[in-house]
């Protein structure tokens, strides 16, 4: 385990007890006992993670396991509720001026960090400046840089961000250089968590000065698990459970997780792979099914070196019967659009342009079509066998290359070293900008297609600058129609997030955006 995490736990534990002001001795608590036992106490929630977590710093939270832990320890100015509406977090209310450039946040009174210090507007300013100082290494910087003075600060040309003003201890104002509709939703992302740090933002940081105000406090960590205890002074009330344990399963070892679930060492397990068969006949669990906000698609290489023309791409789209791809799976909903089910602007009865175009004149296809996949299992191999059969009807042979290292996979995509690729995209927020700009703007950071259309760029830039949701939706739908005519990607499916959960676990508020936004503060166990 990375040394930062061990030191962080030690320092946080010391700070907590120094500031706990006469709390009861917890040496014999159920959580303490759970640390030294493989059988958690009845009121402790035990949750699987698909990879180890090596840091609790919100800025470092760039994947699902890290974010799942961070959202339990830290809090943000605003949050998303289960209906994907923006809800109060640290801020009890906020106001946006008519220009869409000025945001004023009123903070909740009485919030304290785990070390006992008060959460104030100054802490909000310092936290956002700390995030801005990290610059492009965070996926939030694209939204932060529109704050007045942010780029000058992050480049070392200013001592503070001039556009963030502390009006009083419980009020902060943020001014933007221009209207930017995705800004407020971006403040709900865990990287934007408000932390307790030193008053000098330029001073070197360490584990002693990164402290949260969330519902749980770090207690213990090793190479197998992380243990958190409830924070009695959490602003929305203390959690109802005695503790929270995250257990690591390297390489998404779903079979081991299912086995632990069966013997009572886990409170929940994802329902995919062999899990459904392993649980068949059991009655001591319940199913929680939620639609995931995101899109799985087949992408095309559209760089200058691309072999597949627009007409070839459309013919490929027409020969794929998506119903046959997922005939035996309940976890997928067939997709025709870029805007996924669950987001404003989704059109359930809309037919993609490629479905209405005549492809009787089959173009002369390449002898082989190279597909890249970053994952491999029996289901994916079956899927690729079906695709190979369909491409064969067009006169092409499918060549699948499984690149199981994400970094290498992205390098190959960026270089245009393939014809097609499999990829899923899950937005950071439910703002439609997150479904379009990163993927389909010519300057989008995840535009691995090499796609460029000036009309689409203009629509996406215009939508970012508008505040009325209805008008923005119209622009995104126009962009969607152009994109699906150009066809840099074939929408394939929307995924469900199914979990088997022990029958005595209640109050699990499962956010459609996934574990990035799922807090366990409201969970209670019989």
Q: How far apart are CA 223 and CA 250, in angstroms?
A: 10
Range(s) of the chain covered by CATH 3.40.190.10: 1-72+214-284+503-526
pTM: 0.82
Mean predicted lDDT score pLDDT of the chain:
87
**pLDDT tens profile 191-200:** 999 999 745 4
- Residue 497 has what pLDDT? 80
Provide CATH 3.90.76.10 ranges for the chain. 75-213
The span from the CA of 353 to the CA of 359, in Å, is 12
**Interval 472-492 mean pLDDT:** 97
pLDDT at 2: 44
| The 91-96 sheet, strands edge to edge | 91-96, 102-107, 171-175, 164-168
Of residues 101 and 291, more confidently modeled:
101
Domain 295-496 adopts which CATH fold? Dipeptide-binding Protein; domain 3 (3.10.105)
Over residues 324-347, mean pLDDT: 84
Distance (Å, rounded) from C-alpha 381 to C-alpha 325?
Answer: 11
404 pLDDT higher than 50: yes
Q: Which CATH superfamily is domain 1-72+214-284+503-526 in?
A: Periplasmic binding protein-like II (3.40.190.10)
Q: Which of 50-59, 121-130, 209-218, 272-281 has the highest mean pLDDT?
A: 121-130
How far apart are the C-alpha atoms of 112 and 121, rounded to whole Å?
Answer: 12
Question: What are the start and end residues of each CATH 3.10.105.10 domain in the chain?
Answer: 295-496
Predicted confidence at residue 62, as pLDDT, reads: 80
Assign domain 75-213 to a CATH class: alpha beta
- Sequence-distant (6+) residues with CB within 8 A of 265 are 38, 39, 40, 46, 247
pLDDT for position 36: 60
For 58-99, give the DSSP string.
GGG--SHHHHHHHHHH-B-SEEE-TTS-EEESSEEEEEE-TT
Give the pLDDT of residue 26: 45
- Locate the DSSP E strands across 271-419: 285-291, 295-300, 332-334, 368-373, 397-402
SS3 call for 493: strand
Q: What is the pLDDT of residues 84-124, one digit of tens each?
A: 889 999 999 999 999 999 999 999 999 999 999 999 999 99
What is the DSSP secondary structure assignment for residue 450, as one 8-state letter?
-
Give SS3 for 14. Answer: helix
Query: Which residue is listed with tokens 């959580």?
Result: 31
| Pick from 182, 56, 160, 200: nearest CA to 114 | 56
- DSSP H helix total and E strand total for the chain: 16, 20
pLDDT, average across residues 6-27: 43
Q: Which of the residue ranges 88-92, 276-280, 444-448 would you say has the lowest mean pLDDT?
A: 276-280
The pLDDT tens digits for 147-188 are: 999 999 999 999 999 999 999 999 999 999 999 999 999 999
Tens-place pLDDT, residues 408-441: 999 999 999 999 999 999 888 899 999 999 999 9
Query: Positive or negative, the Cα torsion across 372, 377, 383, 389?
Result: positive
- pLDDT tens for 39-89 read 656 799 999 998 888 889 999 888 888 999 999 999 999 998 878 889 999
Q: Is the pLDDT of residue 470 over 80?
A: yes
SS3 annotation, 221-267: ECCCEEEEEECCCCCCCCCCCCEEEEEECCCCCHHHHHHHHHCCCCC
């Amino acid at each position: 385990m990375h040394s930062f995490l061990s030191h962080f736990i030690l320092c946080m534990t010391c700070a907590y007890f120094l500031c706990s002001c006469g709390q009861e001795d917890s040496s014999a608590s159920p959580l303490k006992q759970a640390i030294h036992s493989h059988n958690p106490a009845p009121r402790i929630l035990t949750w699987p993670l698909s990879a180890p977590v090596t840091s609790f710093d919100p800025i470092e939270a760039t994947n699902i396991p890290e974010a799942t832990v961070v959202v339990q320890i830290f809090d943000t100015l605003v949050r998303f509720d289960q209906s994907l509406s923006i809800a109060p977090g640290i801020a009890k209310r906020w106001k946006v001026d008519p220009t869409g450039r000025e945001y004023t946040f009123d903070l909740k009174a009485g919030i304290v960090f785990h070390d006992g210090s008060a959460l104030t507007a100054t802490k909000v300013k310092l936290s956002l400046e700390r995030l801005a100082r990290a610059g492009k290494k965070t996926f939030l910087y694209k939204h932060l840089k529109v704050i007045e003075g942010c780029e000058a600060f992050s480049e070392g040309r200013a001592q503070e961000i001039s556009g963030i003003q502390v009006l009083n201890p419980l009020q902060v104002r943020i001014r933007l250089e221009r209207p930017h509709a995705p800004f407020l939703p971006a403040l709900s992302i865990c990287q934007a968590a408000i932390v307790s740090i030193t008053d000098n933002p330029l001073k070197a940081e360490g584990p002693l000065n990164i402290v949260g105000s969330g519902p749980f406090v770090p207690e213990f960590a090793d190479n197998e698990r992380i243990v958190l205890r409830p924070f009695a002074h959490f602003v929305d009330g203390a959690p109802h459970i005695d503790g929270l344990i995250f257990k690591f399963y390297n390489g998404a070892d779903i079979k081991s997780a299912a086995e632990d679930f069966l013997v009572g060492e886990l409170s929940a397990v994802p329902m995919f792979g062999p899990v459904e068969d392993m649980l068949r006949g059991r009655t001591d669990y319940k199913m929680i099914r939620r639609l995931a906000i995101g899109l799985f698609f087949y992408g095309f290489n559209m760089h200058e070196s691309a072999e597949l023309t627009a007409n070839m791409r459309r013919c490929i789209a027409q020969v794929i019967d998506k119903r046959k791809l997922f005939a035996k799976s309940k976890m997928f909903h067939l997709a025709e659009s870029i805007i996924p089910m669950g987001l404003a602007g989704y059109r359930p009865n809309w037919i993609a342009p490629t479905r209405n175009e005549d492809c009787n004149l089959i173009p002369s296809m390449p002898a082989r079509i190279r597909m890249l996949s970053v994952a491999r299992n029996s289901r994916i191999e079956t899927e690729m066998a079906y695709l190979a059969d369909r491409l064969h009807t067009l006169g092409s042979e499918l060549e699948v290359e499984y690149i199981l290292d994400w970094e290498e996979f992205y390098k190959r995509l960026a270089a245009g070293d393939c014809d097609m690729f499999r990829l899923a995209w899950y937005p950071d927020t439910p703002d439609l900008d997150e479904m379009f700009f990163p993927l389909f703007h010519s300057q989008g950071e995840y535009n691995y297609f090499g796609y460029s259309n000036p009309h689409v760029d203009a629509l996406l830039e215009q939508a970012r600058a508008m505040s009325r949701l209805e008008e923005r939706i119209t622009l995104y739908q126009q962009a969607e129609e152009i994109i699906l005519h150009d066809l840099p990607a074939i929408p394939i499916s929307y995924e469900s997030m199914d979990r088997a959960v022990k029958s005595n676990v209640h109050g699990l508020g499962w956010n459609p955006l996934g574990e990035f936004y799922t807090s366990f503060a409201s969970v209670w166990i019989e």
